[in-house]
């Protein structure tokens, strides 16, 4: 039904059971959170039922056509209601179910000012988005691609957000598949994610049959240098699961390669690629790749970038490469675990480094701890809280770019954030969690997106807000969401 310029759309997304941790704001496991989609100008209301029984919700917006709306949500399910409205529209949404009564009110608009929805989302990249600098058979051009995937993100010292992703030109395949034509695209914001520069390719291989992808951003807080690590496939058929040559030669055309480009001007310009296989690949390994998302700098100044490798027997491992001289030289660490895949490294308040890993078959995050800065690890254990439907997720310390020690490196904190799928078996229901005890417990959580959502990565912005960059399947887009810790605590 339409009234004037305002279009009302209701969309229900019921999901399978979520993990049963209670909501931060309501011990019953019921929550109702408001957000604003800045791209499509939609006021959104997410209803969650994390109880063990079906619940019926009634949502009232006084004076609004169609109000009230009633939705019955299964145990462990959720629903999304949204209204297409112009920015500046006042709203008041009262949500009632047994034992729960809350009202979310304010003015619908982008930005996280007081009185506005404290969750914003902006679609940065779609398959319909024009990307400049794509490499083609006749040189560079501006055009669209068939698939956008694999988000990576970090914030530089002056607050610039660098968001990167795979521009998969000919299809949704991974490196080595199809034509192997994958290039790295950058989206850049200098105002905390309110506006974004147009997407552009910052690195492509020499030919369209060579692929570069799985980007990960790492910022050296002491020098200001930003690195984008990525994986290079020299020809179609050379993928992580293909046979490896066992060589660590820079020119090996049978192996994937870990490389990087770097920027010293907050992402305006980027260097020529730097090859790392001779220094970081064990010749006995079959294949390796850079784990996407972001790396980390520890309080000692060490730069740590997670990788994945297949050993001589073909088993996949998570590990790190690291530098103690601000990126001049890089070394490989030991396995954090076998049978695992992409991971993130996070420094605890004690100085220990925890590797948070995706398992290849077990649907729980696996954690291993290092006492030597992410080089060697103790035994890995499955998390009892953080489930994982075999998808890359993220954990990072809650530290702004300015929270640095005398050596210019980040300080330590016991506060950490986690983003991943709440659904136990599907890449859906992207949820952020908060821990204030070094990841021992995760009592605070909020749903960022209902429905399909795959890989995600996070960054703490210069003003203390939190950014989440995530993908929606192979073709649904790359989305940037931001929120405050207060919103998360009261969601």
Catalytic status, residue 174: yes
- Asked if 42 and 36 touch (Cβ cutoff 8 Å), the reply is yes
Transcribe 414-431 into DSSP letters.
Answer: S-EEEEEE-SSSSSEEEE
**Angle (CA) 311 315 318, round 5°:** 80
How far apart (Å, rounded) are the C-alpha atoms in residues 446 and 460? 17
CB-count exposure of residue 382 (10 Å: 0-12, 13-18, 19+): middle
- Asked if 244 and 286 touch (Cβ cutoff 8 Å), the reply is yes
Catalytic status, residue 342: yes
Of 342, 347, 394, 429, which residue is the catalytic one? 342
Q: Which residues contact 121 (CB under 8 A, 6 or more apart)?
A: 35, 36, 37, 38, 39, 448, 449, 479, 480, 481
Of 174, 388, 429, 471, which residue is the catalytic one? 174
Q: Which residue is it, tokens 């009232």? A: 60
How far apart (Å, rounded) are the C-alpha atoms in residues 433 and 446? 7
How far apart (Å, rounded) are the C-alpha atoms in residues 282 and 236? 23
For 189, 294, 407, the CA distances from 204, given in Å and listed in that order, are 22, 19, 35
Of 173, 230, 455, 470, which residue is the catalytic one? 455
How far apart (Å, rounded) are the C-alpha atoms in residues 407 and 223? 10
Catalytic status, residue 91: no
For 30, 46, 108, 211, 428, the CA distances from 78, given in Å and listed in that order, are 10, 7, 22, 39, 11
Q: Which residues contact 406 (CB under 8 A, 6 or more apart)?
A: none
How far apart (Å, rounded) are the C-alpha atoms in residues 491 and 487? 6
- Asked if 19 and 422 touch (Cβ cutoff 8 Å), the reply is yes
How far apart (Å, rounded) are the C-alpha atoms in residues 433 and 421? 11
How far apart (Å, rounded) are the C-alpha atoms in residues 454 and 472? 6
How far apart (Å, rounded) are the C-alpha atoms in residues 22 and 15? 17
Q: Which positions are annotated as active-site residues?
A: 174, 342, 455
């Amino acid at each position: 039904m339409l009234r004037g310029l305002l279009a009302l759309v209701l969309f229900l997304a019921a999901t399978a059971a979520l993990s049963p941790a209670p909501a931060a704001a309501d011990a019953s496991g019921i929550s109702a959170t408001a957000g604003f989609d800045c791209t499509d100008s939609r006021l959104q209301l997410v209803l969650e039922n994390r109880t063990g029984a079906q619940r019926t919700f009634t949502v009232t917006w006084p004076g609004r056509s169609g109000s009230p709306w009633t939705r019955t949500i299964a145990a462990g399910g959720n629903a999304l209601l949204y209204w297409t409205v112009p920015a500046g529209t006042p709203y008041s949404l009262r949500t009632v179910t047994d034992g729960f009564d809350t009202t979310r009110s304010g003015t619908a608009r982008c930005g996280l000012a007081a009185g506005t929805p404290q969750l914003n989302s902006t679609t940065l990249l779609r398959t319909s988005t024009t990307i400049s600098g794509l490499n083609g058979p006749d040189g560079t051009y501006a055009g669209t691609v068939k698939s956008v995937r694999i988000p990576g993100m970090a914030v530089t010292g002056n607050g610039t957000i660098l968001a990167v992703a795979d521009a998969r030109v000919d299809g949704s395949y991974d490196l080595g598949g199809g034509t192997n034509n994958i290039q790295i695209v950058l989206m850049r914001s200098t105002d905390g994610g309110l506006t974004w520069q147009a997407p552009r390719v910052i690195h492509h291989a020499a030919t369209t049959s060579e692929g570069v992808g799985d980007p990960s951003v790492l910022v050296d807080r002491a020098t200001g240098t930003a690195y984008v690590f990525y994986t290079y496939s020299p020809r179609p058929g050379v993928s992580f699961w293909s046979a490896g040559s066992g060589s660590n030669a820079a020119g090996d055309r049978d192996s994937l390669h870990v490389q990087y480009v770097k920027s010293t001007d907050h992402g305006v310009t980027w260097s020529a690629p730097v090859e790392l296989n001779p220094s970081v690949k064990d010749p006995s390994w079959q294949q390796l790749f850079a784990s996407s998302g972001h790396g980390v700098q520890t309080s000692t100044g060490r730069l740590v970038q997670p990788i994945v490798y297949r050993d001589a027997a073909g088993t996949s491992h998570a590990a790190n490469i690291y530098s103690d001289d601000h990126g001049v030289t890089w070394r490989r660490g030991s396995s954090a675990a076998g049978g695992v895949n992409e991971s993130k490294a996070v420094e605890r308040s004690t100085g220990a480094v925890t590797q948070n890993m995706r398992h290849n078959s077990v649907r729980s995050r696996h954690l291993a701890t290092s006492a030597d800065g992410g080089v060697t690890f103790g035994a890995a254990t499955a998390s009892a809280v953080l489930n994982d439907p075999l998808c890359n997720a993220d954990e990072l310390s809650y530290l702004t770019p300015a929270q640095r020690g005398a050596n210019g490196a980040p300080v330590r904190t016991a506060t950490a954030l986690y983003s991943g799928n709440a659904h136990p078996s599907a890449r859906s229901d992207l949820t952020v969690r908060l821990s204030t005890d070094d990841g021992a417990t995760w009592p605070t959580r909020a749903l960022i997106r209902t429905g399909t959502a795959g890989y995600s990565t996070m960054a703490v912005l210069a003003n203390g807000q939190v950014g989440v960059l995530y993908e929606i399947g192979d073709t649904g887009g790359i989305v940037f969401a931001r929120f405050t810790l207060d919103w998360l605590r009261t969601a």
